[in-house]
Amino acid sequence: MAKGFDVLHVKSAVKTRNKLDLSRTHLTTMNFGEIVPLFVEETVPGDQISVSANYFSRMAPLVKPTYGKFQFKTVSGFVPYHQIADDADAWLAGKTLWEGSSTHNRQIKVQELARFIALDCGTDHKDIGGQSVTADQDNCDFGYYTSNNTLKWMFLTPYGRFAVKVLNALGYAIPQNMSLQADISSSWPFGSTYLSAYPLLAFFKLYNDYMSQSQRYNISVLSQFLKNVKHGITTTGYVPGTGEITEILYLWDWDI
C-alpha cells in the first residue's frame, strides 16, 4: 500500500501555453556611438520567447568621408527585476512587507518625463544655415505649458533627440503640449499618472553593468543611483517611501 510521498502528485503550474505573434518593425535613426534598445519585452516566469531579427541599415550622405571602419553591433540582455529592486518579487507577488519594510513599485510620474524633456532636452532656438531660428508653432519639435500656463515652443537638442528615441523604444510616449504643472492644463490632464520605471531602470542597469567603462563603474553617478534605488536608500532623485523616481537626469550620468 502506498504511503507518504508515494501518493504525492504535483501538477505543473503551466497548464497551457499561448503562442502569440510578437513580430514588430522598429524604424529609427542612429548616430555613431549611440546605444539604443531595439526590442523590449516584459516577461513573467514560464515565458519562452525565441527572437530572430533581420536588420537593414543605410548610411546617410556624409559631408566628409569617415575614412574609417564602423560596426553595427547588437547584443541581447535579460534583467531580472530583483536586480533592480530588492523588494520587486515581493511587490509583484502582492505582498505589502519585505524584510520588515513596506514594498513599493519603482515608478515615475508622467510630469517628470515632461519636465525632463522640456528643461533638459530642449532649446527655444537653433542654428539653421548659419542663422539663428526661434522655435514657433510651425517649426518646433514640441511644446509645453510653463508655470503661468503659457504655451512655449521648443526644439530638441541632439542630446534630447537621443533621449526621446530611447524613451520611445522603451515604451514611454511623450505627449505634445506638455504641462510642467501636474493636472493643471485642461488639454493635458494626466500629469500625475504614474508609469512603471522598470523598463528605464533595466536599460540603464544593462548599460551600467556590461557597457560602461570599468574604471568608472564604482564611482559613477549612475552606479550609485541604481544602488540606492535597489536597496531603497534615500538619495537625490529617488523617494524610497513611494518608490518614485523624481529626477531621471541622474540616470543619464554621462551628461552630469
Confidence (pLDDT) at 189: 57
Helix (H, G, I), strand (E, B) or coil at 215: helix
pLDDT > 70: percent of the chain: 85
DSSP 249: G
Give the Cα separation of 160 and 123 in Å (integer): 9
Q: Where are the domains of the chain?
A: 107-255
- The residues that bridge with 128 in the sheet, in sequence order, are 131
- The reported pTM is 0.82
Confidence label for 2 from pLDDT (cuts 50, 70 and 90)? low
Phi-psi sector, 209: left (phi>0), alpha (psi -120 to 50), beta? alpha
Summarised one tens digit per residue, pLDDT across range 82-99 is 999 999 989 888 888 888
Instruction: Give CA–CA dist 217/234, Å, rounded.
Output: 20
Q: How far is CA 198 from the centre of its chain?
A: 7
Report residue 140's pLDDT band, with 50, 70 and 90 as the boundaries: confident
Q: Per-residue confidence at 43, pLDDT binned at 50, 70, 90? A: confident
When pLDDT is cut at 50, 70 and 90, the band that residue 6 belongs to is low
Q: Average pLDDT for residues 53-76, to the nearest whole number?
A: 82
Torsion from C-alpha of 7, 13, 17, 23, nearest 10 degrees: -150
